[in-house]
A and B are shown apart, each in its own frame.
Chain A
Amino acid sequence: MTTKSIDLSLEIWRQKDSKATGDFETYTLQNISTDMSFLEMLDVLNENLTREGRDPVAFDHDCREGICGMCGAVVNGIAHGPEPETTLCQLHMRHFNSGDTLVIEPFRSRAFPIMKDLITDRSALDRIIQAGGYVSVNTGGAPDGNAIPIPSTTAELAMDAASCIGCGACVASCPNGAAMLFTGAKISQLSLLSQGQPERKERAMAMVTAMDKEGFGNCTNERECEAVCPKGISIRNIAIMNREYVKASVLG
């Protein structure tokens, strides 16, 4: 473990609010420890800006552990930056070199309006879940947890899909702005489990319809979503979703 200090040039998208037109602004940072996380580097920038009486860069974040899905920006053209399976908050500055220029912009998509600087409105993803991403079971009437055995391999597959953090990087990286990896992950999690069976068809129909209504695009197999997904969600989930949707719409 060797800690270095690096100097960076940053080009960051600045936009006052959802109505303003934004633009890139350039900043320089000196002596950034390579042990810092990307967001800590932005914190340092913001402290500097504040001390100079300038407006700090607004960005979303909360857990800083790669699990809440709140953070995210496009760094040099890649959602969440260059490290595979890593959210922006878990990306460390040791992956950059002194003298690098980093271009930082928000997750762009028709369905994600920019609210300020790097902050976007991703509530469309919530509305896809609201359309049917659940099992309709009220509190109280559940049978014993062991009443329905589920093979451990099935549970593991469901868990793979369920580990989506809803960050929206898949949408931002897709040339069509599709939310299919996100939607597919939830549909396949629930279609794998016995608990998800009763509403399987309605769910697929409703979630796909909601996805279209929110203005997300279609999948043309670019695989960009899978490449940037910080949780390594497989594009197989999109195939599963399509199968579920076709079954539901054709077989009724």
Chain B
Amino acid sequence: MELKSNVPAGPLADKWDNHRFSSKLVNPANRRKYKAIVVGTGLAGASASATLAEQGYDVSTFCIQDSPRRAHSIAAQGGINAAKNYQNDGDSIYRLFYDTIKGGDFRSREANVYRLAQVSNNIIDQCVAQGVPFAREYGGTLANRSFGGAQVSRTFYARGQTGQQLLLGAYSALSRQIKAAKVTMHTRQEMMELVLVDGTARGIVTRDIISGKLTSHSADVVILATGGYGNAYFLSTNAMASNVTAAWRAHKKGAGFANPCFVQIHPTCIPVHGSYQSKLTLMSESLRNDGRVWVPKKPGDTRKPASIPEEERDYYLENKYPSFGNLVPRDVASRNAKEQCDAGKGVGSTQLAVYLDFAEAIRRDGEATILKKYGNLFQMYEKITDSNPLDEPMMIYPAVHYTMGGLWVDYNLMTTIPGLFAIGECNFSDHGANRLGASALMQGLADGYFIIGNTIANYLGSTPLDAVDTEHPQFPQAEKQVQDRIAKLLKNSEGGPEGKITVDDIHKELGLLLWDHCGMSRDKEGLEKALTELPAIQEKFWKHVYIPGSGEELNQSLERAGRLADFLEFAEIMIRDALAREESCGCHLREESQTEENEAKRDDNNYSHVAVWEYQGESKEPTLHKEELSFENVTPSQRSYK
């Protein structure tokens, strides 16, 4: 597997310009002859579909949900970054670039990140023009806030519903192209297989979720915008249908998978309350601005929080990190919460929670001020937990939130399979080992609105492609593969459910394995244990899972089983990747790699690379390739929060 990043020459600030100038174009009159398949209608997929259709390509777009507007992006809350410097507080493209690459703990490509910062400003303009109702100042200009510990106010927002408003903007642009018959929209269609012809991506096979019917679709390019794989852990803040299937199918057909072990775990989520729990809800990070995190000093202390006197409380973040206190970065806060709970000091009915206490802030600023800042969050918390944070401390616990790893792409966002592109959370490109708040929305829209149109023109303009349609033998062959796989999933169902287990039983088991051993802190022993335990879970799944119903109907158990089957295979490269990276970096502590003060120790001498996995076939060990990272403009520095 050859990993050519195709980063253009020239000074950092000129690379994108130079690249666009040297790229091939497609004559406007010729564009309609080219077919593009876009899988996914989140920020990345919806913006790409609309933009390519506006440019004149013949676009077919697919999503799992009943409407493109319901993609997981809809749930993003906090905001989107851009280097507008509207607040005149010292921001610039270079600063956004620097913060993003530093935030990623120097594990991403300089050129990609710089381009992201460059186009960030166009995104805001585009969204405003679409009628996205961003928050405004009294004078009518756009409002900003500082987010996720940034020292400048560069985050644009629409109440706590930024993702919703940006997605509805992209969805409206997409709807306009559907109306114009430039995009053919296929809802409730799940991509089950990628089709290659002569080593080049030429189409997909989808399953109609309502009827179960399999259909082949051919094209000149295939763009995956299928989101992240956080649901490998079963519980996460991701939407229920988020999955790795499309990316995994591509991987098995030859697309390298980069940094699969890079997963972000968010510290402020509502804790798990029972084994029936289906997903986790994020509470905004801003709460840590005023809330104080603590646990009882004595393990197993079950008194009510109010009955625990001050001197018997451990404000562990404030004690351990006096200069940052409760505002330490996400990974540090998450790790410490888990550590406290592992030591038996967790609170609540499951003892998997820590307190986030507003009592002092309320005494200091008054209830009204605190409610003005966090009223809607308190309300949301109360709705779910039936407890009012004004009366008793909130309980929080970390949860899987975002996946930085993804399909490896070059500067053109093309995977190692020619003609297969990956955009949005589905690729690995811009966030290194840790993503900054409000940067995922930026990346999804940068990829879809401003990058992919250029790089696809370059690909189509420079690659001779034979005419291929779904009559080509590769399509029926791929359909057959999907059919066999569905039959294999359903084969246990004949004898009824006796002695069998459900899809969710297995998914929970996989989730626990990954959470325990491939979560925020890892060590060799645990990872090796996970690697030896995984095959048993896989076997249990294939031997004993019971799926009611057939493949020729709406069958939600079958859908979930198909996605889980892929997570079960994918988990292996997550674990292997974590095992191979014997350094702490970004979101992860590798137990063996710590400073004397027990903080994460990065190892630039040995791990300043992107780890890219290549599939070698059923029950063969995957191979690891490395794309070395070079830093010509910034100097990697070690983080310190003491």
Interface residues of A (CB under 8 A from B): 1-3, 16-17, 33, 35-37, 39-40, 43-44, 47, 49-56, 58, 60-65, 67-70, 86, 90, 92, 94, 115-116, 119, 121-123, 125-126, 129-131, 133-140, 142-146, 148-152, 154-156, 158-159, 162-163, 165-166, 189-190, 193, 195-196
Cβ of B233 to closest chain A Cβ, rounded Å: 16
Q: Which of B71, B134, B141, B175 has the most chain A CB atoms inside 10 A of its CB?
A: B175
Tell yes or no: B137 within 8 A of A by CB.
Answer: yes
Contact A1 B136 (CB under 8 A): no
Contact A155 B276 (CB under 8 A): no
Beyond A133-B175, A152-B138, 12 additional contacts (C-beta under 8 Å) are: A1-B387, A3-B349, A33-B274, A35-B274, A40-B276, A43-B278, A68-B72, A92-B386, A123-B67, A130-B179, A135-B131, A196-B131
Compute how far the CA of A55 lies from the CA of B550 in the bound complex, rounded to whole angstroms. 10
Tell yes or no: B124 within 8 A of A by CB.
Answer: yes
Compute how far the CA of A150 lies from the CA of B139 in the bound complex, rounded to whole angstroms. 8
Cβ of A15 to closest chain B Cβ, rounded Å: 11
Contact A145 B139 (CB under 8 A): no
The answer to whether A92 and B384 touch (CB under 8 A), given A64-B240, A126-B175, A152-B136, is: yes
Chain A residues positioned under 8 Å from B504 (CB to CB): 43, 47
Cβ of B67 to closest chain A Cβ, rounded Å: 5
The answer to whether A69 and B70 touch (CB under 8 A), given A47-B502, A136-B176, is: yes
Tell yes or no: B450 within 8 A of A by CB.
Answer: yes
The answer to whether A62 and B240 touch (CB under 8 A), given A40-B277, A129-B172, is: yes
Compute how far the CA of A147 lies from the CA of B176 in the bound complex, rounded to whole angstroms. 24
Tell yes or no: B74 within 8 A of A by CB.
Answer: yes
Contact A67 B176 (CB under 8 A): no
Within 8 A of A (CB), among B157-174: 158-159, 161, 164-165, 168, 171-173
Across the A-B interface, give the 6 residue pairs with the lowest CB-CB distance, nearest first.
A149-B140, A134-B172, A142-B129, A142-B125, A158-B133, A152-B136
Bitwise interface map of B from 105 to 132 toward A, beta carbon under 8 Å scored 1, else 0: 0000000000000000010111111110
Cβ of B84 to closest chain A Cβ, rounded Å: 7
Kindly report which residue of chain B lies nearest to residue A196, judged by CB atoms.
B131
Contact B129 A135 (CB under 8 A): yes
Compute how far the CA of A142 lies from the CA of B131 in the bound complex, rounded to whole angstroms. 11
Bitwise interface map of B from 254 to 278 toward A, beta carbon under 8 Å scored 1, else 0: 0000000000000000000110111
Compute how far the CA of A161 lies from the CA of B383 in the bound complex, rounded to whole angstroms. 23
Tell yes or no: B375 within 8 A of A by CB.
Answer: no
Within 8 A of A (CB), among B297-353: 349
Chain B residues positioned under 8 Å from A56 (CB to CB): 548, 556-557
Cβ of A34 to closest chain B Cβ, rounded Å: 8
Contact A142 B122 (CB under 8 A): yes
Contact B136 A143 (CB under 8 A): no
Compute how far the CA of A165 lies from the CA of B171 in the bound complex, rounded to whole angstroms. 13
Chain A residues positioned under 8 Å from B165 (CB to CB): 159, 162
Cβ of A47 to closest chain B Cβ, rounded Å: 6
Contact B453 A139 (CB under 8 A): yes
The answer to whether A134 and B173 touch (CB under 8 A), given A125-B67, A126-B69, A195-B129, is: yes
Contact A163 B161 (CB under 8 A): yes
Chain B residues positioned under 8 Å from A146 (CB to CB): 86, 141-142
The answer to whether A189 and B140 touch (CB under 8 A), given A67-B75, A115-B210, A125-B67, is: no
Tell yes or no: B10 within 8 A of A by CB.
Answer: no
Partner of B278, one of A40, A92, A135, A152: A40
Partner of A152, one of B127, B140, B173, B176: B140
- Chain B interface, number of residues (Cβ within 8 angstroms): 81
Chain B residues positioned under 8 Å from A136 (CB to CB): 176
Cβ of A123 to closest chain B Cβ, rounded Å: 7
Chain A residues positioned under 8 Å from B68 (CB to CB): 126
Chain B residues positioned under 8 Å from A50 (CB to CB): 497, 502, 546, 548, 557
Compute how far the CA of A39 lies from the CA of B136 in the bound complex, rounded to whole angstroms. 36
Cβ of B228 to closest chain A Cβ, rounded Å: 14
Chain B residues positioned under 8 Å from A116 (CB to CB): 210, 553-554
Partner of B131, one of A2, A36, A129, A189: A189
Kindly report which residue of chain A lies nearest to residue B240, judged by CB atoms.
A62
The answer to whether A189 and B125 touch (CB under 8 A), given A43-B278, A61-B240, A133-B175, is: no
Tell yes or no: B549 within 8 A of A by CB.
Answer: yes
Kindly report which residue of chain B lies nearest to residue A149, judged by CB atoms.
B140
Chain B residues positioned under 8 Å from A158 (CB to CB): 131, 133
8 contacts between A and B (CB under 8 A): A51-B497, A61-B240, A67-B164, A68-B72, A70-B65, A123-B66, A134-B175, A162-B133
Cβ of B126 to closest chain A Cβ, rounded Å: 5
Kindly report which residue of chain A lies nearest to residue B176, judged by CB atoms.
A134
Kindly report which residue of chain B lies nearest to residue A151, judged by CB atoms.
B140
Tell yes or no: B496 within 8 A of A by CB.
Answer: yes
Tell yes or no: B135 within 8 A of A by CB.
Answer: yes
Tell yes or no: B249 within 8 A of A by CB.
Answer: no
Compute how far the CA of A144 lies from the CA of B82 in the bound complex, rounded to whole angstroms. 13
Q: Which of B84, B171, B176, B497 has the most chain A CB atoms inside 10 A of its CB?
A: B176
Contact B66 A53 (CB under 8 A): no
Tell yes or no: B178 within 8 A of A by CB.
Answer: yes
Chain A residues positioned under 8 Å from B384 (CB to CB): 37, 90, 92
Compute how far the CA of A136 lies from the CA of B384 in the bound complex, rounded to whole angstroms. 40
The answer to whether A55 and B556 touch (CB under 8 A), given A47-B504, A139-B450, A145-B84, is: no
Kindly report which residue of chain A lies nearest to residue B496, judged by CB atoms.
A53
Partner of A149, one of B65, B139, B171, B273: B139
Bitwise interface map of B from 432 to 460 toward A, beta carbon under 8 Å scored 1, else 0: 00000000000000000110010000000
Tell yes or no: B54 within 8 A of A by CB.
Answer: yes
Chain A residues positioned under 8 Å from B274 (CB to CB): 33, 35-36
Cβ of A94 to closest chain B Cβ, rounded Å: 6
Contact A55 B161 (CB under 8 A): no
Compute how far the CA of A121 lies from the CA of B502 in the bound complex, rounded to whole angstroms. 28
Kindly report which residue of chain B lies nearest to residue A116, judged by CB atoms.
B554
Q: Which of A68, A115, A119 has the most chain B CB atoms inside 10 A of its CB?
A: A68
Kindly report which residue of chain B lies nearest to residue A119, judged by CB atoms.
B554
Cβ of A3 to closest chain B Cβ, rounded Å: 7
